[in-house]
């Protein structure tokens, strides 16, 4: 459904990769305090320190702006992105959730007026997720949110726009997936996310506003309220009754990316003023059966694995992340066992 030109980085200072290879590297970030002030719907509050843990992927600011506004900041990815960006004392992070800005109401977008400007990056990380239903109601709500943000972009100036999308825009007939893979959404959620991309493009392109689209693979980690099938649902069910439930024999392969890695990648690309489309994935696919085994190996008690009737055909999703690697060559992904351990702890299974 259309070809996209490769992503383009608009970083300020080129430098060399390690080992003398030509290219651009995002420099390391100095130590920062784990606590900082952020703005929540226009009010300042203290950022949680998450037990003193620091961002595993700190990035030196390279952006020209001094403010980032996150719409959907109370969501799974939105919260993680706020943490990843919040350590910079020179960067103002403004957070809005549905409590402070209801994106389905056009008039609510007036809350953006005081924070708009060429120094501001606007991040849209809000959506009704598949667990809320794959139907016309959720589809229309997601399209309405993107449309209302686009209307705000018609009358306000922003220096950079970032859309947190989903790999649900792709079908399962092509592997490995790259940014050039044709989109083929199969459900209401995927259609809504792709519509959001195009709606923002319609407004930003003629105004020459840089637009970054992030198509995120399956995210796992502590704090996920959706319990999507995979590491998150396994951790939740183990905490409840020490049982993992697999569809069929769990043969399907997926790319599972830790939520802090999603935030770290998004922050790095945002700081580098990246534009175009990036798939946020690890490049490593695992079957659900392998994930269940990894979970069982990490907990100090017996886990029962049960097999449920399969709901559909066996499908796989693998990625070629060459484009992402070229953009952030020094980014180090969280080892799967480490991310899984933190997830199990977050759900009370460890």
The reply to whether 294 falls in a domain is no
The CA dihedral of 186, 187, 193, 195, to the nearest 10 degrees, is: 80
Give residue 25's pLDDT band: very low, low, confident or very high (50, 70, 90). Answer: very low
Looking at per-residue pLDDT, the higher value among 65 and 249 belongs to 249
For residue range 114-166, list pLDDT tens digits in order: 999 999 999 999 999 887 878 999 999 999 999 999 999 999 999 999 999 99
The boundaries of the domain holding residue 47 are: 18-220+256-284+316-334
84: CB partners within 8 A, 6+ apart: 55, 57, 260, 263, 264, 266, 267
Residue 88: predicted pLDDT: 84
Contacts of 22 by beta carbon, 8 Å cutoff, 6+ apart: 16
State what percent of residues in the chain have pLDDT above 70: 81
Q: What is the pLDDT of residue 57?
A: 37
Tell me the pLDDT tens digit for each residue of 11-20.
433 333 333 3
CA distances from 199 to 32, 38, 154, 316 (A): 37, 29, 12, 29
Q: Which of 132-136, 174-178, 184-188, 189-193 has the lowest mean pLDDT?
A: 132-136
Q: Which residues of 219-243 are buried (b: 16+ CB within 10 A; e: fewer)?
A: bbbbebeeebbbbbbbbbbbeeeee
> Which tens digits make up the pLDDT trace of 125-137?
999 988 787 899 9
Report in angstroms the alpha-carbon separations of 219 from 110, 113, 229, 244, 278: 31, 32, 10, 18, 15
Q: Which CATH number do you get for residue 212?
A: 3.40.50.720
For the stretch 264-285, pLDDT in tens is 999 999 999 999 999 999 999 9
Whether 102 is in a domain gets the answer yes
As a whole number of Å, the end-to-end CA separation of the chain is 44
Is 168 a member of any domain? yes
Res. 59: pLDDT tops 60 = no
Say if 262 falls within a structural domain. yes
Q: Are 184 and 170 in contact (CB under 8 A)?
A: yes
User: Mean pLDDT, the chain, as a whole number?
Assistant: 85
Burial of residue 335 (number of CB atoms within 10 Å: 0-12, 13-18, 19+): exposed
pLDDT (0 to 100) of residue 63: 60
Pick from 172, 149, 173, 175: nearest CA to 162: 149
pLDDT tens column, 307-330: 999 988 999 999 999 999 999 999
Tell me the pLDDT band of 186, cut-offs 50, 70 and 90. Answer: confident
Is the pLDDT at 223 greater than 70? The verdict is yes
Mean pLDDT calculated for residue range 177-204: 96
Residue 311 in any domain: the answer is no
Mean pLDDT value of segment 167-192? 95
Q: Which pLDDT score, from 0 to 100, does residue 132 have?
A: 82
244 vs 28, residue with greater confidence: 244
pLDDT at 334 over 90: yes
* CA within 13 Å, CB half, 7: 28
Q: What's the confidence (pLDDT) of residue 307?
A: 96
Give the number of domains in the chain.
1
């Amino acid at each position: 459904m259309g070809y996209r030109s490769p992503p383009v980085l608009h970083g300020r200072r080129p430098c060399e990769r390690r080992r003398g290879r030509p290219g651009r590297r995002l420099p390391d970030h100095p130590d920062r305090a784990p606590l900082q002030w952020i703005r929540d719907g226009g009010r300042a509050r203290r950022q949680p320190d998450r037990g003193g843990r620091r961002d595993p992927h700190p990035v030196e600011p390279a952006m020209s702006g001094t403010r980032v506004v996150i719409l959907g900041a109370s969501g799974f990815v939105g919260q993680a992105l706020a943490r990843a960006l919040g350590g910079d004392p020179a960067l103002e992070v403004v957070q809005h959730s549905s409590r402070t800005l209801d994106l389905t109401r056009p008039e609510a977008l007036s809350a953006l007026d005081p924070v708009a400007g060429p120094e501001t990056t606007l991040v849209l990380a809000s959506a009704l997720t598949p667990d809320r239903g794959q139907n016309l109601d959720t589809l229309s709500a997601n399209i309405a949110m993107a449309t209302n943000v686009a209307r705000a972009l018609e009358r306000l100036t922003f220096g950079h726009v970032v859309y947190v999308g989903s790999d649900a825009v792709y079908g399962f007939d092509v592997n490995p997936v790259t940014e050039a893979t044709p989109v083929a959404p199969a459900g209401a959620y995927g259609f809504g996310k792709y519509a959001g991309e195009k709606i923002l493009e319609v407004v930003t392109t003629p105004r020459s506003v840089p637009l970054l689209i992030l198509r995120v693979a399956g995210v796992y980690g502590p704090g996920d309220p959706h319990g999507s099938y995979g590491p998150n649902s396994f951790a939740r069910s183990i905490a409840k009754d020490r049982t993992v439930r697999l569809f069929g024999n769990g043969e399907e392969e997926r790319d599972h990316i830790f939520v802090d890695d999603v935030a770290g990648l998004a922050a790095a690309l945002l700081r580098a003023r990246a534009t175009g489309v990036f798939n946020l994935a690890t490049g490593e696919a695992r079957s659900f059966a392998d994930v269940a085994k990894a979970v069982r190996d990490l907990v100090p008690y017996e886990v029962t694995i049960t097999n449920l009737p399969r709901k559909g055909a066996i499908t796989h999703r693998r990625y070629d992340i060459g484009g992402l690697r070229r953009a952030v060559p020094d980014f180090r992904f969280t080892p799967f066992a480490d991310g899984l351990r933190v997830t199990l702890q977050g759900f009370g299974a460890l």
